[in-house]
Amino acid sequence: MAAGKGGRRELNRRVLLLWGRGEGADWRVYLDHNATTPLAPEAAQAVQDAMLQAWGNPSSSHPAGRKAKELIGCARESLARMVGGRPEDIVFTSGGTEVGAAAEESKDKGRRPFSGPSFSPLPFSLQANNMVIHTARRHFRESQARPGDSRGTPHIVTSSVEHDSIRLPLEQLVKESLAEATFVAVSPRSGRAEVDDILAAIRPTTCLVSIMLANNETGVIMPVTELSQRIHALNQWRVAEGLPRILVHTDAAQMIGKGRVDVQELGVDYLTIVGHKFYGPRIGALYVRGPGTTTPLLPMLFGGGQERSFRPGTENTPMIAGLGQAAELVSKNWEAYKAHMQDVRDYLEARLEASFGKQRIHLNSHFMGSKRLCNTSNFSILGPGLQGPLRFCSAAGSPMMWRRMPCG
């Protein structure tokens, strides 16, 4: 909803000027930052510099290739620093080709290939999230599953409010009888997927629990740290009983840049990073705790040896450079960004109550005992029609922008 201090204020000013159309015009302010953010000037400059100066193939040994490879290494370090991990735990994802591997796997089994909601390029969170689901299911199948035994079908637990990049792949796998899934409802009292409810859904065949770190609609922050701790304790018992280890994944797309994200504190095995949610380019990455060693990671594509063969394909150096620069901005400034965004959010909610009256405004994301994102406000305006200085335009129920409207 809001942007941080310094460069972010300048960025918001430019967005405002972009929407404005002259003196006395119908001014609009962009408020859909949970869908995507504008590109930070520093990130845009990093992309441009890489396009002009690091155009070589990172796999080549000549100077142009080495320069590109060095830039990718620096970006990997920046992302690792942002989430508290190690550079070797970061795997870059790019493009829409990941869906091809899922399609081919289904074809091999004589089933209809999964195409997602359409054949258009996939959201960047879907690429990382699909890789996690693919890994958990294949790892279970190769190490635990017994052909022809329904008890050998891998089971995945998630919440009922996950992004489509988790929900749709799981629904398709269930439809194709490749996996079983439980969608745990969030509590109407807290707005969270409660840890006890998630643990109650676990079965002997459960191989993955995937819970978003923060919800994009309500802003509610999920109890991922507590969940990881309890699953870690549960895994010790499961190993002794010969049951498969439960892997833990969180999609941190909405949390990065708006609050503290530390993989050591969260205790997760996988964490999804989406650049365009924190003023970076539209490219993503996946944090994996010890990929291929401590934590399984199986490729969906086969070809070149890029990204240690976990995600082959020539790296998109300019986009990776921009992602690294955006990560640097988050690492240096997230506390200031958070404080500023929270001030703007609280001011907006106070003005809404003052304009429409507390009886007509219901703040839907105010849950007792739950924390929420500093930039997200979910509210309803009660009663017939809108009256007041602001009228909100929305898409799919999400406030996107406001415009000044005459009253009366």
388-399 confidence digits (pLDDT tens): 544 443 333 333
pLDDT surpassing 70 at residue 77:
yes
Of 21-30, 92-101, 267-276, 394-403, where does mean pLDDT reach its minimum?
394-403
Distance in angstroms (rounded) separating the CA atoms of residues 253 and 284: 9
pLDDT band at 139 (very low <50, low <70, confident <90, very high): confident
Q: Is the pLDDT of residue 243 over 70?
A: yes
Q: Tokens representing 117?
A: 């909601």
Q: How is residue 89 annotated by DSSP?
A: G
pLDDT at 123 over 60: no
What is the identity of the amino acid at 273? I
DSSP notation for 97-133? THHHHHHHHHHHTTSPPP-TTSSSPPPHHHHHHHHHH
Between residues 68 and 326, the one the model is more confident about: 326
Backbone angles phi, psi at 168, to 5 degrees: -65, -45
Determine how many CB atoms are found less than 10 A away from the CB of residue 249.
30
Lowest-confidence pick of 41-50, 64-73, 138-147: 138-147
Question: Residue 354: CA atoms inside 13 Å, Cβ hemisphere, count?
Answer: 7
Share the mean pLDDT of the chain.
80
pLDDT, tens digit (0-9, with 9 covering 90-100), for 150-206: 458 999 999 999 999 899 999 999 999 999 999 999 999 999 999 999 999 999 999
Q: Could you tell me what percent of the chain has a pLDDT over 90?
A: 58
pLDDT for the residue 105: 45
Burial code (b: 16+ CB inside 10 Å, e: under 16) for 170-184 equals bebbeeeebbbbbbb
Residue 76 has a pLDDT of 95
H helix runs in 84-223, sequence order: 98-108, 124-143, 164-175, 195-200
CA distances from 384 to 330, 363, 381, 387, 391 (A): 42, 18, 9, 9, 13
Q: Which distant-in-sequence residues (6+ apart) come within 8 Å of 78 by Cβ? A: 324, 325, 327, 328, 331
pLDDT tens for 95-107 read 322 333 333 343 3
Q: Is the pLDDT of residue 90 over 70?
A: yes
Q: Which residues of 93-121 are buried (b: 16+ CB within 10 A; e: fewer)?
A: bbbebbbebbbebbeeeeeeebebeeeee
129 or 84, higher pLDDT: 84
Query: What is the DSSP-derived secondary structure letter of residue 220?
Result: B
Residue 348 has phi, psi (to 5 degrees) of -60, -45
| The two structure tokens encoding residue 139 | 């790892």
Buried/exposed 27-62: b ≥16 CB within 10 Å, e otherwise:
ebebbebbeebbbbebbbebbeebeeebebebeeee
What's the confidence (pLDDT) of residue 382? Answer: 86
| 355 pLDDT above the threshold of 60 | yes
Average pLDDT of 361-377?
Answer: 93
CA 168 – CA 165 distance, rounded (Å): 6
Dist CA 94 CA 131 (whole Å): 12
Residue identified by tokens 């063969």 is 309
In 176-313, alpha helices (H): 195-200, 224-240, 263-266
* Token pair recorded at residue 84: 């508290």
Most confident of 54-58, 182-186, 378-382: 182-186
Q: How far apart are CA 98 and CA 179, in angstroms?
A: 19
pLDDT of residue 304: 67
User: Model's pTM, two decimal places?
Assistant: 0.82
Q: Which of residues 355 and 98 earns the better pLDDT score?
A: 355
pLDDT at 94: 62
Which two three-digit tokens encode residue 399?
């406030």
pLDDT band at 112 (very low <50, low <70, confident <90, very high): very low
- pLDDT exceeding 70 applies to what percent of the chain? 74
Q: Which range has the worst mean pLDDT, 8-22, 57-71, 136-150?
A: 8-22
Q: Which tops the pLDDT comparison, 126 or 223?
A: 223
- The answer to whether 222 and 215 have CB atoms below 8 angstroms apart is yes
Q: What mean pLDDT is predicted for residues 202-227?
A: 97
Q: How far apart are CA 73 and CA 396, in angstroms?
A: 39
Quick one: pLDDT at residue 151? 56
Q: How many CA atoms lie within 13 A of 166 on its CB side?
A: 26
Distance CA 128, CA 375 (A): 24
| Nearest residue to 334 via CA among 81, 163, 89 | 81
Q: In this structure, are residues 46 and 322 in contact, taking their beta carbons and an 8 Å threshold?
A: yes
Least confidently predicted of 1-5, 285-289, 293-297: 1-5
